[in-house]
Structure 1
């Protein structure tokens, strides 16, 4: 579910000097540190500029706003959903899916970025369509394909709705990590996977 920097346009020739990947990395590292240690409200382009010594103009050339920078941290580099159902079975697929979500959003910077993006979407709804909708649509399409493969292999119940499964796996994991007052434990991801699995796997004949 990763994406390039939101302001990049691979179809348009770049003017001037090419971007320095070390500068990109320094900006992202500083933003992650601020998110992890001080939260979304503390993150600003000015704060990143002060932390890195990189000019605000250079940062804005890469990310059009704080929301774009935060979205890169929340969504960039996530990779595709695990797809092991054909080789390892439905249990391995569900556990891998929940574990991927759990491990990602347990990272303090990513958790803070995810919460921050929800705030940003409420303040400026157009950002949801620009930054979130394409990523969610792609992720849902991936899961639909995995579920369809599971049904074809007679591993998944025919009535299972892939979009509902997406909502349950993602929503439950994010709620427990980012909203709930109950601290997650070492077995939380497995406990969530167990419950999801019981609603997905086809019972042995």
Structure 2
């Protein structure tokens, strides 16, 4: 693989530009993409700066100049939107209680996806990186944003249909459901269908219109 060339190398740097080398967007993107691919394939523990450099086609020092540690690099890759927990949207939800059936369908779809090896590797990496970087929860918020947006849409639909009361704390319900799914991946404990249904019952009972 050809190495991605950095702009403004020391020999060719124009006078007056100042000290140091300017960032090269092409190299940055190659490094972030390599980090994502290797993380999904091999997991966080096996990820090394040398392997990232090799895959990106840059020198290892190029990676270290931009990111001082593996955890900071993985954190920036996740914050860039390069990865997300893409829970599938359940479709054609049917049942006697549309609100609770929609919640159940979402939970089951999400639980199925986090049993995928690549998703498990990424979620476990997220826990390690978040613990090593003081990001005030931004990693989790960015990483789960697509899934959370879809889930909130389902809950708002439940409000419009009358099954969920207006004024209910939908954000808290979404956080509880996403947390339950992430816990499944982190503990290597597949969620039992019965436990997911029970969680849906408890949540919707608390949100239900009176």
TM-score normalised to structure 1 length: 0.59
Find 1:42's aligned residue among 39, 46, 52: 46
Greater helix proportion: 1
Contact 2:35 2:52 in 1 (8 A): yes
Pair 1:168 & 2:176 matched: yes
Higher relative contact order (CA 8 A, sep 6+): 1
Find 1:54's aligned residue among 53, 57, 69: 57
Matches within 5 A, 1:1-205: 28-35=36-43, 40-50=44-54, 52=55, 54-55=57-58, 56=60, 57=62, 65-69=73-77, 71=78, 76-79=83-86, 82=89, 84=91, 88=94, 89-126=98-135, 128-129=137-138, 131-136=139-144, 140=148, 142-157=150-165, 160-179=168-187, 183-184=189-190, 188=192, 190-199=193-202, 200=204
Asked which structure has the greater CA Rg, the reply is 2
* CA distance in 2: counterparts of 1:122 and 1:17, whole angstroms: 28
Any idea what the Cα deviations from partners look like across 1:147-175, whole Å, max 9, x if unmatched?
22212212235575322322332222222
Map of 1:7 onto structure 2: none
* Distance verdict in 2 for CA 1:118–1:79, change over 3 Å: closer
Any idea what the Cα deviations from partners look like across 1:36-88, whole Å, max 9, x if unmatched?
xxxx22212312334x3732448988x9713334x279972544773758x64
* CA distance in 1: counterparts of 2:178 and 2:91, whole angstroms: 18
* CA distance in 1: counterparts of 2:80 and 2:26, whole angstroms: 22
* CA distance in 2: counterparts of 1:123 and 1:26, whole angstroms: 21
* Distance verdict in 2 for CA 1:124–1:184, change over 3 Å: closer
* Structure 2 alignment gaps of length 5 or more: 1-22
- Aligned-CA RMSD value: 4.4
How many residue pairs are counted as aligned between the two chains? 176
* Structure 1 alignment gaps of length 5 or more: 1-14
